[in-house]
Amino acid sequence: MKGLRSSWPKPRRFDRNLVVIGAGAAGLTASYIASAARAKVTLIEGHKMGGDCLNYGCVPSKALIRSATFLRQARRCKDLGIARAPVEYDFREIMVRVHHVIKTIEPHDSVERYNRLGVEVIHGMAHITSPWTVEVNGRTLTTRAIVIATGSRPVVPPIPGLEQVRYYTSDTIWSLTERPKQLVVLGGGPVGCELAQAFALLDCQVIQVERTGLMGREDPDAVALVEAALRADGVRVLTQTHAIRCQSEAGGQQLIVRHQDGTEEALPFDALLCAAGRVARTEGFGLEEMGIPIWPNGVIETDAWLQTLYPNIYACGDVAGPYQFTHVAAHQGWYAAVNALFGSVKRFKVDYSIIPWTTFTHPEVARAGLSETEANTRGVRFEVTRYSLEDLDRAITDEAAHGFIKVLTVPGKDQILGVTIVGARAGDLLAEFVLAMKHGLGLKKILGTIHSYPTWPEANKYVAGEWRRAHMPSRLLGWVEKYHAWRRG
């Protein structure tokens, strides 16, 4: 390692303790932590502060989903005893609102806010020129350590003819001002499912094409509920279907797909959304020249401390993997900053033990820890406890009594190995399990906690109750029964 670094001249002194490249969730957190620790830190952003999450990802997608959810509720007003709830809307106005939401959140990630926190922010494309130097806007900054937080970009699959048709990615779909009449969504991951459902509710005819199955990482029971909900909202879901080519003719644009049985079909569209995954941004800013290795899945090779090949260059967020979530990027940002600044004294391995995530379809799917499939693949022994949200009072009053909580525990113990929740408020319900798992609290502790009535989190207590019922101390209960009989005389 030392040898590697010695091929570059080391500055005699450094202008900064840390240079962070990229102002998404990972880079913002890393620079915030560094300035809070009184280090001299510069954050370089080549495009928009807030990165993907604010500008093209979580924020616009959740804002769009909110409008779509309102339309679903209005259309199902009879379920709530309301005869008619006519709604009128303009697609353009909904997109205006999406951008308004971005603008409202923008100050949280702004240059002004970070300047106030003590972070120097430079707008420009950074280029790493040595282990201790970064170039931006023709200036060379010297630094003790570097954090790479350059994120990821959407994959555009190599489908013949794609370049000749009107296609969008999550980077560009937010520029729509007119509703596409027919939208083809390519991909059945979280982006594809969330957006296919939202656009269908906004009265687009949506066809979703997925080469395998929807939401491949999730519990099959959860996926079945989401797939049924997508269909009920009007999405034509085509799984095990391959995109063959795009064609543009006088009659319009088409995606030719091949179904599992080998038949081909032409799907007409006026917009096609590529939601086929995201790939780390690793090119064009010095990694190649520095020989920083990339794993076969495209992310920068890092160790348990997020160090790259060069011990003073760290990577975090989507560019480092293994997850692609805002909260994981922020979590890693803390480790990257702390290890970069204090690693020679004490360093911390990133804790990936309990990673939660939620896909914001309707119903939501929320996960932490192992799924049944993962536990089986890894040979982990487990018991399953299930609670149906159909029995939850609050879900019934909300006319949303669908879904379940599934908890995996160590056989004979209440220790939680994993949780999958499907339902209207799954993402919120998950938080209690994440806290329990993180701090080693078992289902008995959740059962012993008062949950206010009638709330959704009561479901967590009820699933713990199901576990308890299945693990009653039968011998003791036999004695207790005899005791009561004796007391009756």
Ligand X SMILES: Cc1cc2nc3c(=O)[nH]c(=O)nc-3n(C[C@H](O)[C@H](O)[C@H](O)COP(=O)(O)OP(=O)(O)OC[C@H]3O[C@@H](n4cnc5c(N)ncnc54)[C@H](O)[C@@H]3O)c2cc1C
Binding range to ligand NAD, per CB under 6 A, among 4-12, 70-78, 209-217, 466-474: 209-217
Residue among 146 and 215 whose Cβ is closer to ligand NAD: 215
| Contacting residue, 47, 48, 211, 347, with ligand NAD by CB under 6 A | 211
Closest CA to 281 of 152, 154, 171: 152
Judged by beta carbon distances under 5 to 8 A according to partner kind, the member of ligand X, ligand NAD, none in contact with residue 186 is: ligand NAD
Q: Which of residues 288-327 bind ligand X (CB under 6 A)?
A: 317-318, 324-327
Give ∠ CA 334-340-341 in degrees, rounded to 5.
95
| Contacting residue, 272, 276, 340, 422, with ligand NAD by CB under 6 A | 276
CA–CA distance, 139 with 174 (Å, rounded to integer): 34
Check the annotation: does 192 bind a ligand: yes
Q: Does 25 bind ligand NAD (CB under 6 A)?
A: no
Q: Does 53 bind ligand X (CB under 6 A)?
A: yes
- Closest approach, Cβ 318 to ligand NAD, in A, equals 8
Chain-centroid distance of CA 32 in Å reads 22
Judged by beta carbon distances under 5 to 8 A according to partner kind, the member of ligand NAD, ligand X, none in contact with residue 67 is: none
Length of the chain in terms of residues written: 489
Q: Does 216 bind ligand NAD (CB under 6 A)?
A: yes
Check the annotation: does 190 bind a ligand: yes
Q: Does 180 bind ligand X (CB under 6 A)?
A: no
Residue type, 310: Y
Q: Is 252 left (phi over 0), alpha (psi -120 to 50) or beta?
A: left
Residue among 297 and 452 whose Cβ is closer to ligand NAD: 297
CA–CA distance, 129 with 416 (Å, rounded to integer): 47
Which positions from 467 to 486 touch ligand X by CB under 6 A, shown as an x/- string? --------------------
CA–CA distance, 209 with 88 (Å, rounded to integer): 30
Q: List the structure tokens of 280.
A: 């780390």
Q: Does 60 bind ligand NAD (CB under 6 A)?
A: no
Buried b or exposed e, range 359-398, using 16+ CB within 10 angstroms: bbbbbbbbbbbbbbebbeeeeeeebebebbbeebebbeee
Q: List the structure tokens of 302.
A: 């890092």
Residue among 241 and 312 whose Cβ is closer to ligand NAD: 241
Q: Does 151 bind ligand NAD (CB under 6 A)?
A: no
Residue among 360 and 433 whose Cβ is closer to ligand X: 360
Q: Does 236 bind ligand NAD (CB under 6 A)?
A: no
Residue type, 425: R
User: Which uninterrupted H or E stretch holds 274?
Assistant: strand 271-274
Could you say which DSSP state residue 10 is in? P
| Contacting residue, 170, 197, 385, 460, with ligand X by CB under 6 A | 170
| Contacting residue, 133, 150, 241, 254, with ligand X by CB under 6 A | 150
| Alpha helices in 173-258, H assignment, sequence order | 190-201, 220-232
Sheet of strand 205-209: strand arrangement: 167-168, 271-274, 182-186, 205-209, 236-238
Binding range to ligand X, per CB under 6 A, among 17-25, 139-147, 258-266, 384-392: 17-25
Check the annotation: does 317 bind a ligand: no
Residues that bind ligand NAD (CB under 6 A): 157, 186-192, 194, 209-212, 216, 243, 275-278, 324-325, 357-360
Residues tagged in the binding site annotation for NAD(+) = 187-194, 210, 277
Residues tagged in the binding site annotation for FAD = 62, 150-152, 318
Residues tagged in the binding site annotation = 62, 150-152, 187-194, 210, 277, 318
